[in-house]
Structure 1
Amino acid sequence: MLIRDATPEDWPRIWPFWQLIVSAGDTYAWDPGTGEQAARGLWMGPAARVFVVEDGPDVVASAYVKPNYGGPAASVANAGFMVDPGHAGRGIGRRLAEHVLREAAGDGYRAMVFNAVVATNPALKLWLSLGFDVVGTIPDAFEHPVHGPVGLHVMHRKLGGAE
């Protein structure tokens, strides 16, 4: 597997699993009906550094990193991660997360924040194991298609030498 910076030409290989994951409505606080152009803007916007994981000819995962805030707080990153469900359970998410955390620190970010981790998201265990802390929870903020109203966690982790 190869993890590399994405190019605009990678979007058509990201979009199928992006759409599948977001349309399920159980892990991301984005509209499940988001169209392709809007999705591309959310994932590959001009402020984002985007990564892909290739397994042979296939893109099997992607992540982005961008400033969570602006101005004097621009050293706090935000990130999003997706692994194609057809390739889940192989450690791809962990490898991608470790790579992105290193790259974000190398790019000068001092911390990373996740603004809305659905409390029932299986990736929550991964984020905790990688040193993220839940710094707050917005109760019943997410309408889960199976569990009904569940919380959204705000998570934080220091990067670089401040770990």
Structure 2
Amino acid sequence: MLIREFVDRDWSQVWPIIEEVIRAQETFPYDPAMTAEQSYGMWVEAAPGRTVVAVDGERVLGTAKMGTNRPGPGAHVSTASFMVAADARGRGVGTALCRDALTWARRQGYAGMQFNAVAESNSSAVRLYRREGFEVVGTVPGAFRHPTLGRVGLHVMYQEF
């Protein structure tokens, strides 16, 4: 598996991953009716941010976007988001993408990385982030409407560098 910078020709494989994740409504608080065009504008980060893909040969297994969490006085903290194709989960793709984002953020001189909205029901992501050094610094109760579990909390997770 190789992680590399996203290029426009990757979109034909990235969009189905994003579409599947947002339509399932189980992990990301994104509008499930988003179009490919809307998703492109939301997912593909302009510099100084970065968007990457994890590939096996020509196949995109997952994608990540990263950048500054907030402008101005919050610009010293980074953020990132990750999506992995359903049939590639459990193979280390998410871990590799997370580690890549952390390496990038440290090289850019950020003081830490913050995840703003991790569904507490997304136990595999929460375990991965904890394993990579993140802590839950707060949870907004019932802030995420899961399709089968009902309202669950959204974690704010943070790692200081």
- TM-score by length of structure 1 reads 0.93
Verify: 1:144 aligned to 2:149, yes or no: no
Superposition map of 1:46-85 within 5 A: 46-47=46-47, 48-85=49-86
**1-structure distance, mates of 2:83, 2:90:** 13
**2-structure distance, mates of 1:141, 1:2:** 35
Q: Which residue of 2 aligns with 1:110?
A: 111
**2-structure distance, mates of 1:96, 1:141:** 26
Q: Which residue of 2 aligns with 1:99?
A: 100
User: Shift in Å at residue 143 of structure 1?
Assistant: 0.8
Question: Unpaired segments of 5 or more residues in structure 1?
Answer: none
Q: Which residue of 2 aligns with 1:41?
A: 41
**2-structure distance, mates of 1:46, 1:5:** 12
- TM-score by length of structure 2 reads 0.94
AA paired with 2:103? R
> What is the Cα-based RMSD across aligned positions, in Å?
1.1
Question: Unpaired segments of 5 or more residues in structure 2?
Answer: none
Q: Percent identity?
A: 41
Match of residue 136, structure 2, among 109, 134, 137: 134
User: Shift in Å at residue 74 of structure 1?
Assistant: 0.9
**Corresponding pairs, count:** 159
**1-structure distance, mates of 2:32, 2:160:** 31
Verify: 1:87 aligned to 2:88, yes or no: yes
User: Moved runs in structure 1, 4+ residues, more than 2 A?
Assistant: 45-48
Contact kept in structure 1, 2:45 and 2:66, CA below 8 Å: no
1:3-45 deviation digits (Å, cap 9, x = unpaired): 1111222222100111001110010011111111111111103
Q: Which residue of 2 aligns with 1:125?
A: 127
